[in-house]
Amino acid sequence: MERFSGTFTQQEPIPDEAIAAALRVMQSGRLHRYNTLPGEISEAAALEEDFAAQTGARYCLAVASGGYALGCALRAAGVVPGDRVLTNAFTLAPVPGAIAALGAVPVFVETTEDLVIDLDDLAARAGQARVLLLSHMRGHICDMDRLMALCAARGLMVIEDCAHTMGAHWAGRPTGRWGAVGCFSTQTYKHVNAGEGGLIISDDAALMAKMILLSGSYMLYDRHRAAPPPEAFADLRLTTPNVSGRMDNLRAAILRPQLRDLPRQAARWNDRYGVVAAGLQGTPGMALPARPAAEGFVASSLQFLLPGWGADAVQALLARCAARGVELKWFGAPDPVAFTSRYQNWAYAPHPALPQTDRVLAGLIDMRLPLTFSLEDCALIARIIRAEVSAVFQGAATALPPAGGAD
């Protein structure tokens, strides 16, 4: 019986060019982003220029984490305690966490079988809030044309959580460029790896000036380059609280070469996704979420659905795959495990039942696809999952009474 022996959490090494840049920063001793020599451009400021250019955004701010980016954007958008903020029911804990940390209240929106926000349910709930924190969870991108039209009609400001969509686009427009603000993560398990870190993009001068001040710029905001002009700060500089969450030059130095390499890496991720998806296609008892032609995703993970499966059957599948070295996560588990939790687990937020999301999550399986996996590894993983899904599904089917046989 075939077995996989790779590690699902092993990322690639930091590229040599990034290590060399990090060494230069350390040798300089100037790790703080505002610790510059006269005329010197810090790595953090240069990173912001690079990412703004790469995404086509007017402004960019580098911060301490993706979660910090979300909170900073919400604060800048004027979210205050007691405000309701719409967000995806299917996302990870830092998203409702960023809302709740401001004393605001997440309002969860249903999930489709293609793992994106349900736009009909969003329309039904739109009157409850002023802001939508849209999570492109696991890299699945909803119909952004339709979403933006809906939000414009309802006066909803959109903040995009692009933690899983760096380098991705909808119909050619990058994620993060649709809403008023786009928030990215540079944490180890994302598309670039600085250990921790976040990047925020926006075209809105007032929002960006506020976010720069919030992030802890003191009165040094003129050292930022992908930033609005000093006039944008005039009315905000003394009234905006400092909520320190800056990025340092060391992380910025590590990130810049990785960002330059992102298109090549994105293609490698999608090659891996393509091999696993092709290997799983048509497996009885399993469905892969549809990926519309307009969705330019960058897959660092893969999800599949086991529609109608009972908890025991899902757990049997996870155990059988684990025994063959394939590590799968289940969004239907009642208790949170490692990074995986679901909206009912976020007890700090009200969570009225969302039957459609419950149905989807009950059969939702999640798998990491690190770039350390070869295409042969991916084909092997698909063969193992296919065999085990088939075995459990057929076993469950034969355990049922024959059709029409029971009254």
Ligand X SMILES: Cc1ncc(COP(=O)(O)O)c(C=O)c1O
Quote the Cα angle for 165-170-175, to 5°: 40
Does 258 interact with ligand X (rule: CB under 6 A)?
A: no
Does 285 interact with ligand X (rule: CB under 6 A)?
A: no
Shortest reach from residue 392's CB to ligand X, in Å: 28
Interaction pattern, residues 91-110, with ligand X; x per rule: CB under 6 A: xx-xx---------------
Interaction pattern, residues 198-217, with ligand X; x per rule: CB under 6 A: x-------------------
Number of residues that bind ligand X (CB under 6 A): 15
Tokens at 49, concatenated: 């220029």
Interaction pattern, residues 179-198, with ligand X; x per rule: CB under 6 A: ------x-x----------x
Taking the C-alpha atoms of residue 117 and residue 108, their distance in angstroms, rounded to an integer, is 10
Taking the C-alpha atoms of residue 334 and residue 59, their distance in angstroms, rounded to an integer, is 41
Shortest reach from residue 161's CB to ligand X, in Å: 5
- Which range of residues in 87-95, 218-226, 258-266, 304-312 is near ligand X by CB under 6 A? 87-95
Nearer to ligand X, 111 or 135 (CB): 135
Shortest reach from residue 221's CB to ligand X, in Å: 23
Among 30, 75, 125, 164, binds ligand X (CB under 6 A): 164
- Which range of residues in 76-84, 124-132, 161-169, 359-367 is near ligand X by CB under 6 A? 161-169
Beta strands per DSSP E along 297-339: 301-305, 329-330
Taking the C-alpha atoms of residue 304 and residue 319, their distance in angstroms, rounded to an integer, is 17
Interaction pattern, residues 110-149, with ligand X; x per rule: CB under 6 A: -------------------------x-x------------
- Residue 364: HSE in the Cβ half-sphere, 13 Å Cα cutoff: 28
Nearer to ligand X, 187 or 249 (CB): 187
> H or E segment at 364?
strand 364-368
Report DSSP letters for 54-86, one per residue. HHT-SEEEEESBHHHHHHHHHHHTT--TT-EEE
Tokens at 236, concatenated: 């905000």
Its sign, for the CA torsion 36, 39, 41, 45, is: positive
Does 67 interact with ligand X (rule: CB under 6 A)?
A: yes
Three-state secondary structure call for residue 135: strand
Nearer to ligand X, 66 or 228 (CB): 66
Its sign, for the CA torsion 386, 391, 397, 398, is: positive
Helix axes 249-260, 262-280, angle to 10 degrees: 60
Taking the C-alpha atoms of residue 384 and residue 292, their distance in angstroms, rounded to an integer, is 27
The closest residue (CB) to ligand X is 66
> H or E segment at 174?
strand 173-174
Among 119, 163, 266, 333, binds ligand X (CB under 6 A): 163
Nearer to ligand X, 67 or 176 (CB): 67
Nearer to ligand X, 286 or 364 (CB): 364
Binding site for ligand X (CB under 6 A): 65-67, 91-92, 94-95, 135, 137, 161, 163-164, 185, 187, 198
